[in-house]
Amino acid sequence: MPTSTPPDRRPPRDWELIYVSDPSNVTNYDFDPGDARPLITSHPAAPEELAAFIDHVAASDADAFVQEVYNAGWIMYFRSERFEYDARPQHRRFLPMMDDGVMPLQVMLERSRTRGMRFLAGFRVNDNHGAPDQGGMFLHANPQWKLTDVPPGGAFLPGNRMDYSVAEVRDYLFEVVAEVVSRFDVDGVHLTFRDGLYFPAPNGDRSLARERQPLMTGLIERLRALLDERGRARGRRLELGALVPQTLEDCHTVGLDVPAWIGAGLVDFVSPMDSAFTDFNAAYEEFASRTAGTPCRLYPGVQPYCSSHESFGPPATPDNYRALAHALRRQGADGMSVYNFQKHWGGFRSGRRGAETGYPMAFRHLREARDLQRVAGGVRHYTYRSLWGGYRGISPSGTNVCGTMRDRKLVLPRAPGTPSASYRFRLFEEVERTACATLFARAVGLGPADRIAVHLNGAAVPGARLRRVYHREGRPANGGRALPPHTTCVIDLTPDLVASGDNELTVTLLFSGMAALRAADSEPIVIDEVDVTIVPA
């Protein structure tokens, strides 16, 4: 394949934006500017269509574009004599292009270079989408290497996940990466560890994964050596990045010794994130403390939704992305990695070409987050939610794919005396430098006759700074999450109430109204939605 490396390739910037395109990110839509047809799985793709998509990504001022080209034993966006091409209908759209000798991967690579973006080939390390009937023949011809000792729950049915304890499984992924790096002049490789299961976990016991971390580290070492060899021949270092679980503990739990990768100089960047949602309460300082003073950069992951309760509602706004960029920067991040951004493309599905939440207008959201001056000068909206509360699609206990419970909420019982409960949230703002800083807490079960006291970090919130709005009719779904009757507590934030970093909201029930006292079930007051809006000075 021809190379397309410009002689003045831009070095990494102080704050970067990485766009990760999943295996089907560019397959289910026709991006031809003259055609707005949605979900076209039979309409042949064209090079101009891919180029137009890359142009829109570049318009967000992204620094790197990652296209995942391997998943579940299948390759996509290029053909190979050794590896099986993706059999799903949406990926068949690219067959005519490849019949003409044009590899979609090469088209995206060259267009990315033209638009000043680095291009990395992405590889999913295990994925269970479509199990057990999908996936390449390598998986199904070797059932002895499939994971069968898995945690309970619908997300862990034996199917497409392979056991990375097996050398042949690690070798297979390595060989796919080696072919891509040899045939295409990519700027690096991106590994996606978002599945949460790489080693046997009988009945949820993850101890084997911890024991076998060196096996996965060995694979990372081999990939690093491969990239170094190819990089020397091309006169530049080829990057190795990894999307990993949100906490170091979760990484170790699933068998990924990320601190060892960073310490040994094996990876050029890491992107910790939840598998499906953005957590405004995430603590990424633990990763920053590992990457500080090393060449490894930290690009935490962000996604369009922040809760399983809201995954069909309106996606993140520019105000949300500015808040995320601000918080990540304050925690020591070097940029942000965007995943599942195609969930913004609702304009296609609704037939509204160029809709506010659709393609291609949504890319302006990323431009807001890419520019730190816009971040500092724009409104920032923090949305704190229970990521997985009440969701049982992964495990019976409601945990995420790593077995971690992320159900942050305040539960205030109607008990004798004056019961209290607290909600912790992270806010990296100096409110004394803002024009307005306001907290909104939605309390389900809190009625007009209930009396409460509210504290922030132990300081009482004066009545003049606290307002209550009762929503008797509740909140309709409107494509998102419905709420029953509830009260919104509105608090004007001041420097004496909140700190930059960790904060604690405490609610004490002083008196229960008569309607609540008559309730047979004595339902508690629950807060699992907290928002903070910052208006800069």
**Residues 141, 134 contacting (CB under 8 angstroms):** no
Per the model's pLDDT, the better-predicted residue between 32 and 386 turns out to be 386
- Structure tokens of 408? 């942050």
**Residues 411, 506 contacting (CB under 8 angstroms):** no
Same domain (yes/no): 504, 370: no
CB atoms within 10 A of CB 503: 18
Rounded to 5 degrees, φ, ψ at 161 are: -85, 135
Question: pLDDT tens, 211-235?
Answer: 999 999 999 999 999 999 999 999 9
Say yes or no to pLDDT of 151 above 70: yes
Rounded CA separation 120/190 (Å): 6
* Residue showing tokens 């059932």: 143
Rounded to 5 degrees, φ, ψ at 459 are: -95, 130
Question: Domain range spanning residue 270?
Answer: 17-125+187-197+239-379
Say yes or no to pLDDT of 26 above 90: no
Which CATH number does the domain housing residue 351 bear?
Answer: 3.20.20
Rounded CA separation 423/281 (Å): 11
Evaluate whether residue 165 is within a structural domain.
no
Q: What sign results for the dihedral spanned by CA atoms 489, 490, 496, 498?
A: positive
Evaluate whether residue 367 is within a structural domain.
yes
Which CATH number does the domain housing residue 532 bear?
Answer: 2.60.120
| 3 state SS of 19 | strand
**Boundary residue ending a domain (364, 379, 394):** 379
The residues pairing with 383 across neighbouring beta strands, listed in sequence order, are 531
Whether a cis peptide bond, with omega within 30° of 0, leads into 300 is no
Rounded CA separation 433/503 (Å): 18
Q: pTM of this prediction?
A: 0.94
Evaluate whether residue 153 is within a structural domain.
no
Beta strand 188-192 with 434-444: parallel, antiparallel or unpaired?
unpaired
Q: Give 452's contacts (C-beta < 8 A, 6+ positions apart).
A: 446, 507, 508, 509, 510
Rounded CA separation 370/336 (Å): 8
Say yes or no to pLDDT of 446 above 60: yes
Residue type, 388: W
Query: Total domain count for the chain?
Result: 2
**Boundary residue ending a domain (379, 398, 429):** 379
CB atoms within 10 A of CB 421: 18
Same domain (yes/no): 455, 372: no
Size (the chain), residues? 537
Q: What sections of 351-395 are H helices per DSSP?
A: 363-370, 372-377
Same domain (yes/no): 119, 256: yes
158 confidence band (pLDDT: 50, 70, 90): confident
Among residues 141, 162, 136, 139, which one has the least CA distance to residue 84? 136
Among residues 31, 44, 182, which one has the least CA distance to residue 102? 44
Please state the separation of Cα 58 from the chain's center in Å.
20
Say yes or no to pLDDT of 520 above 80: no
Candidate ranges 20-24, 156-160, 439-443; pick with highest mean pLDDT: 439-443
Evaluate whether residue 154 is within a structural domain.
no
**Boundary residue ending a domain (331, 361, 379):** 379
Question: pLDDT tens, 68-91?
Answer: 999 999 999 999 999 999 998 889
Say yes or no to pLDDT of 241 above 60: yes
Which pLDDT score is estimated for 123?
98
**Residues 536, 470 contacting (CB under 8 angstroms):** no
Per the model's pLDDT, the better-predicted residue between 28 and 40 turns out to be 28
Q: What sign results for the dihedral spanned by CA atoms 74, 79, 84, 87?
A: positive
Rounded CA separation 496/469 (Å): 24
- Structure tokens of 51? 């180029």
Same domain (yes/no): 452, 369: no
Evaluate whether residue 22 is within a structural domain.
yes
Candidate ranges 64-78, 133-147, 467-481; pick with highest mean pLDDT: 64-78
Mean pLDDT of the chain: 90
**Residues 57, 117 contacting (CB under 8 angstroms):** yes
Mean pLDDT of 21-37: 68
Evaluate whether residue 300 is within a structural domain.
yes
Say yes or no to pLDDT of 522 above 90: no
Query: Half-sphere exposure of 227 toward its Cβ, with a 13 Å CA cutoff?
Result: 25
List Cα–Cα distances, 215 to 145, 164, 219, in angstroms: 15, 8, 7
Per the model's pLDDT, the better-predicted residue between 426 and 479 turns out to be 426
Among residues 207, 208, 225, which one has the least CA distance to residue 164? 208
Whether a cis peptide bond, with omega within 30° of 0, leads into 360 is yes
Same domain (yes/no): 434, 353: no
Per the model's pLDDT, the better-predicted residue between 479 and 350 turns out to be 479
Same domain (yes/no): 439, 522: yes
Among residues 79, 80, 179, which one has the least CA distance to residue 123? 179
Mean pLDDT of 476-499: 93
Which pLDDT score is estimated for 530?
98
In the chain, what percentage of residues exceed pLDDT 90?
Answer: 74
Whether a cis peptide bond, with omega within 30° of 0, leads into 132 is yes
The residues pairing with 382 across neighbouring beta strands, listed in sequence order, are 532
Evaluate whether residue 255 is within a structural domain.
yes
Rounded CA separation 43/97 (Å): 12
Q: Is 21 exposed, middle or buried (0-12, 13-18, 19+ CB in 10 A)?
A: buried
Among residues 119, 117, 116, 125, which one has the least CA distance to residue 104? 119
* Residue showing tokens 């159900």: 407
Same domain (yes/no): 338, 457: no
- Structure tokens of 339? 């995943």
Same domain (yes/no): 329, 414: no
Q: Which helix (H) or strand (E) holds 49?
A: helix 47-59
Same domain (yes/no): 323, 445: no
Which pLDDT score is estimated for 3?
45
**Residues 37, 30 contacting (CB under 8 angstroms):** yes
Same domain (yes/no): 247, 303: yes
Same domain (yes/no): 344, 415: no
Same domain (yes/no): 372, 440: no
- Structure tokens of 21? 């395109």
Rounded CA separation 140/153 (Å): 22
* Residue showing tokens 């990089």: 231
Evaluate whether residue 243 is within a structural domain.
yes
